[in-house]
Amino acid sequence: MIIGLLHDIILVSLSPFIIPYTLVRYKDKIKKGTAPRFALTHIVSDIIVHSSSIGETKNALLFSEHIRKIFPQKKIINTVFTQTAMKTFPETVSMTIPLFTVQSLLINTKNLIFFESDIWPSYILSAKRNKSKILLVSGKISQKTAEYWKKIPILTEAKKLIDHVFAKDEENLARFKYAGFPSVSLSIDLKNLIFLRDRKKMKIKTNKKILLGLSTRGADEIKFLLQSYVPNKIGLIIAPRHDFEEAEKIVSEYAEYIKLTEIMQKSQNKKIETIKEQIENSINNNKIILVDTYGITEEILKISDLCFLGGTISNIGGHNVLEPISFGVPVFAGPNNWNIPKEIINEGIVKEVKSPDELKNYVVKSENMEEKIYGFIKQKSSKVKGELEKIASYIV
């Protein structure tokens, strides 16, 4: 109780500095209406699963889906920090204002589960005051953040209240232990939950190979794809991670294109079946398709033959490689691919390409990797089922 009140006093006293910083940091998102927002939501649930970004939330919802199968009688609510996540997944709830006094009154749950990395001390303190079990699953933490949790008094007290951390890999396990979290074990990356889903592919009428540029970051990655584009052999779909306007400007200078939102105008939903014919016509008329909306990745992967993973030309390290693999889609990545598990590269499921010409040659030849990919999926499915049972044993 005292620690919680102290947390609120410090946070409120720092608000003259926090608010201007937040306004500057999120100014573009504020203009677009996608800046993080907090609510005064009264949440009563057996289990709360909290996440932040679109990617985290997508996996957190999948986690909740499988936990619900284990505990069908328990009510599960997913809370989120970012507005983009809440808009993309309307079944989620905006996080309650991160003040101990507010959350203690408005949140009532038996289990609070943080998914990956968005750990709020106010959430921990208020949940534990109400005697909740607190877990962190698929846990990850940067070295810088680990230093904060090790040294800042409020955080050092809050971490003692977390019942268990399931670290996603050896590197994060070491960081959580360094930061002083009292109960930590080696788990797996719960992005692997995606392998438990039944994925159905769909063939479109074209002689071309469909190449998806997934979660591209910045101009260089889009230009890399455009330079590998052979209109009579490749159907190119580009799905930028964020800046749709910048992507459109670059694509417009290279080739004919059509935005996915234009194709979807007459459709009542985001299912690929409803726009299949329009996509076929665009591809066969040598138009690049620019994905300029969120929440459609899975549908696009249904028709993709190959995938180039964004964040691997820019200095990001690569985004979620498991999603395209779960559809049996071979993946190519640029040289900056340190976020991709080494086992996937070593097994040849992901191929590294250093130039647009190299990507072009691979796409045109495109060897059959189906058996290798589906063997990998089967292995990961078995492992993630076991990890879910272990996590479920902590839930009350």
In a domain, 118, yes or no: yes
Say yes or no: 168 and 273 in one domain: no
Q: For the ranges 29-38, 79-88, 330-339, which has the lowest average pLDDT?
A: 29-38
pLDDT value at residue 200: 83
In a domain, 4, yes or no: no
pLDDT value at residue 49: 97
In a domain, 15, yes or no: no
Say yes or no: 323 and 255 in one domain: yes
Say yes or no: 34 and 101 in one domain: yes
CB atoms inside a 10 Å sphere around CB 86: 23
Gap between the Cα atoms of 395 and 343, Å rounded: 31
Say yes or no: 175 and 245 in one domain: no
pLDDT value at residue 273: 86
Say yes or no: 247 and 104 in one domain: no
What would the two tokens of residue 24 be?
């500057």
Residue among 68, 64, 99 at smallest CA distance from 78: 64
CA–CA distance from 329 to each of 74, 91, 205, 301 (Å)?
36, 29, 18, 8
pLDDT value at residue 28: 62
Say yes or no: 108 and 182 in one domain: yes
Q: Which residues contact 386 (CB under 8 A, 6 or more apart)?
A: none
Domain C-terminal end among 157, 187, 217? 187
The residue-averaged pLDDT of 155-174 equals 95
Q: For the ranges 14-28, 71-85, 302-316, which has the lowest average pLDDT?
A: 14-28
pLDDT value at residue 370: 77
Helices (H), 306-351: 322-326, 342-346
Read off the pTM. Answer: 0.76
- Buried b / exposed e along 40-61 (16+ C-beta atoms within 10 A): eeebebbbbbbbbbbbbbbbbb
**What one-character DSSP code corresponds to residue 190?**
G
Gap between the Cα atoms of 362 and 372, Å rounded: 17
pLDDT value at residue 44: 93
Q: Express each pLDDT in 315-326 by its tens digit.
A: 999 988 999 999
Say yes or no: 39 and 93 in one domain: yes
Q: Which residues contact 21 (CB under 8 A, 6 or more apart)?
A: none
In a domain, 182, yes or no: yes
Q: Which residues contact 12 (CB under 8 A, 6 or more apart)?
A: 99
Gap between the Cα atoms of 270 and 362, Å rounded: 30
Is residue 232 over pLDDT 70? yes
In a domain, 214, yes or no: yes
Q: Can you give the residue range of the structural domain that contains 274?
A: 209-376
What's the angle, vertex CA 4, arms to CA 3 and CA 10, rounded to 5?
85
CB–CB of 350/331 below 8 Å? yes
Q: What CATH number has the domain bearing residue 372? A: 3.40.50.2000
Domain C-terminal end among 152, 187, 222? 187
Q: Which residues contact 2 (CB under 8 A, 6 or more apart)?
A: none
CB–CB of 149/180 below 8 Å? yes
Is residue 138 over pLDDT 80? yes
Say yes or no: 174 and 221 in one domain: no
pLDDT value at residue 7: 81
What's the number of domains the chain is made of?
2
Is residue 22 over pLDDT 70? no
Q: Express each pLDDT in 92-127 by its tens digit.
A: 998 888 888 888 889 999 999 999 999 999 999 999
Q: Express each pLDDT in 233-249 by its tens digit.
A: 999 999 999 889 999 99
What would the two tokens of residue 236 be?
């190119």
Q: Express each pLDDT in 189-215 by its tens digit.
A: 998 898 888 888 888 899 999 999 999
Q: What CATH number has the domain bearing residue 76? A: 3.40.50.11720
CA–CA distance from 159 to each of 59, 96, 117 (Å)?
24, 20, 13
The residue-averaged pLDDT of 71-78 equals 96
- Is the alpha carbon torsion for 247, 117, 95, 79 positive or negative? positive
The upper half-sphere exposure of residue 55, i.e. CA atoms within 13 Å in the direction of its Cβ, equals 18
In a domain, 201, yes or no: no
pLDDT value at residue 71: 97
**What are the residues facing 43 on neighbouring strands?**
107
pLDDT value at residue 19: 56
In a domain, 37, yes or no: yes
Helices (H), the chain: 2-13, 15-25, 27-32, 54-70, 83-88, 100-106, 121-129, 143-151, 153-159, 170-179, 218-227, 244-252, 260-263, 276-284, 297-301, 322-326, 342-346, 356-365, 370-392
Q: Express each pLDDT in 270-294 by its tens digit.
A: 788 889 999 999 999 999 999 999 8
pLDDT value at residue 374: 87
CB–CB of 221/309 below 8 Å? no
Say yes or no: 88 and 146 in one domain: yes
The residue-averaged pLDDT of 137-162 equals 95
pLDDT value at residue 265: 85
Q: Express each pLDDT in 332-391 by its tens digit.
A: 999 999 989 888 888 888 999 999 999 999 888 877 777 888 888 888 898 899 999 999
Say yes or no: 40 and 81 in one domain: yes
In a domain, 194, yes or no: no
CA–CA distance from 136 to each of 181, 185, 191, 219 (Å)?
11, 11, 14, 36
State the chain's mean pLDDT as an integer: 89
Say yes or no: 72 and 175 in one domain: yes
pLDDT value at residue 257: 95
- Buried b / exposed e along 268-278 (16+ C-beta atoms within 10 A): eebebeebbeb
Say yes or no: 143 and 235 in one domain: no
Q: Express each pLDDT in 32-74 by its tens digit.
A: 555 555 667 889 999 999 998 888 998 999 999 999 999 999 9
